[in-house]
Structure 1
Amino acid sequence: MSLIQRLFKIQIPRWIKPTFYIGTTILILIFNDAFGETDSLIIFSLFFFLLMGVEVIRWLFIQTKSIITLKKEKKEVELLHLKSQVNPHFFFNTLNNLYGLVEQDTVKAQKLILKLSEMMRYSIYEGGNDWVTLDEEITYLENYLELHKMRYHKSIDIRFSIHVTDRSKKVMPLLFIILLENAFKHGVENLRKDAFVHIKLEANDSEINFEVENNFDTEEITEKPGIGLKNLKRRLELVYPRTHRLEIGVTKSIHEAQLTLEI
């Protein structure tokens, strides 16, 4: 807002400025053609075109800032949408299990409800934050594993190896859970026996490395990537551009996923 607008609290229509600059330029050309290049006209022209150059630079700055702001807002909205899609079907499956468990084993059902409420609280509140500590993410993963141990009636070899020098390191929430969830959804769910899920989390001052290895039924394998994996890849592109590595491989009946984040 210009000084005149501030003093008199008036709104100047947008078309006034370009009309003024175009009209003044035409007048300068007319006067120059009629009277020649007088000293007064040259000085006035210099100040006028200098003022017009400042206005053009100011306009470009405002437009650039507006574009950057819009891109940032679009990124934040997309991230919120992606976060809201994380593991909803897991909660639905657990609630279905609880329905049948309430009459059979009330004590176990109560434990499942408490564990599930802890996970839902984290997913809804902490999961909406930009960053959380590694310690919070580890607790969430451990709760997820405990909940699975309680809801399955079959024996599963679950191992979670943690080697973290500083658990206060910041990380984007709900990244690792997608890889872990896939290990259960596409592996454990379809195996009647000898199912295993081995997880390793390592972190030092420069990077975080998360690995998940699980076996699966080769007859149930699908080539089509799931929504969760697409979600993860997009979030990594938005938050960790050029500072992440996601490697997924299959050897016979073993599925391996490794995510490395530079911090």
Structure 2
Amino acid sequence: MIAGLRGGITIGGLAAAIKLMKHYYEKQQLASQLEKQNMLAELQTLKSQLHPHFLFNTLNNIYSHAQETAPIAADMLLGLSGLLRYMLYTGNAPLVPLADEIKMIQAYINLEKKRYGEELELSIQLPGNTENLMIAPLIMLPFVENCFKHGTSSVLENPWINLNIALKDQEMQLKLVNGKADKMHAQEGGIGIENVRRRLTLIYPEKHKLTIMEEDELYIVNLEIKLAARPEPQ
């Protein structure tokens, strides 16, 4: 009876030892995986910092060389550099001040204006007090970009764009109208617009309304978003 008891204890001890060893091995494997993931994340962070650094250094060098020989191109490079900084560094935030987003859109329009000179007719109405509202970054830009890409660039004479952004309490209303060449179909299904549709659905469920219409000589975009208020400083 005692021998049987000792045998049972020995077997139980072996089973417990095997279980502990297995647990220790799994814990070591998990620690190794976490360490590897941390190293990869750190490497990715370093790469993400290096690539923009290289990009902006290159743009600055080109800008310096172009100032005397091609001042308009140099000015456009400077504008492009500012847009890229915003997209790379600010565009990753979940929300940004509406004022910053509007400034970025104005900078993009100014950059495009240099391509057209006096040929482009622009009508822009913007709200005054935007400091206390937040918006998802780069949510409006694809619509403005679409105007230039599929609208004004195809109009041979008198290209024009009308942009109106208005506020009613925390609701933002954007209306964007631009001319297009006759018989040219809208590029509504492009990647940029579909991406924005998806982002609006995810970020502003039940808090937005988007309609895109095409007429004979017009593209019309209407976007309404219930924006978030800027949090009070602690």
User: TM range, normalised to the smaller chain?
Assistant: 0.5 to 0.7
1:223/1:173 CA distance change after superposition, 3 Å: closer
- How far apart are the structure 2 equivalents of 1:139 and 1:146? 10
Aligned to 2:76: 112
Deviation at 1:206, TM superposition (A): 2.5
TM-score by length of 2: 0.66
Quick one: which amino acid aligns to residue 227 of structure 1? I
Structure 1 stretches of 4+ moved >4 Å: 10-14, 102-105
Contact kept in structure 1, 2:186 and 2:214, CA below 8 Å: no
- How far apart are the structure 2 equivalents of 1:182 and 1:159? 16
Determine which of 172, 181, 186 is the counterpart of 1:208. Answer: 172
Aligned to 2:112: 148
1:131/1:109 CA distance change after superposition, 3 Å: same
Contact kept in structure 2, 1:212 and 1:258, CA below 8 Å: yes
Determine which of 168, 172, 175 is the counterpart of 2:132. Answer: 168
- How far apart are the structure 2 equivalents of 1:216 and 1:122? 29
Aligned to 2:11: none
TM-score by length of 1: 0.59
- Please state whether the residue corresponding to 1:137 is helix, strand or coil: helix
- How far apart are the structure 1 equivalents of 2:190 and 2:89? 25
Deviation at 1:225, TM superposition (A): 1.1
Determine which of 170, 187, 190 is the counterpart of 2:151. Answer: 187
- How far apart are the structure 2 equivalents of 1:223 and 1:107? 34
Deviation at 1:211, TM superposition (A): 1.1
RMSD of aligned Cα (Å) = 2.7
- Please state whether the residue corresponding to 1:128 is helix, strand or coil: coil
Contact kept in structure 1, 2:167 and 2:173, CA below 8 Å: yes
Aligned to 1:138: 102
- How far apart are the structure 1 equivalents of 2:129 and 2:96? 16
Determine which of 96, 114, 124 is the counterpart of 2:88. Answer: 124
Determine which of 179, 182, 195 is the counterpart of 1:231. Answer: 195
- How far apart are the structure 1 equivalents of 2:80 and 2:87? 10
Share of identical aligned residues, percent?
A: 26
Consecutive unaligned residues of structure 2, counting only runs of 5 or more, are 1-18, 24-58, 228-234
Aligned to 1:254: 218
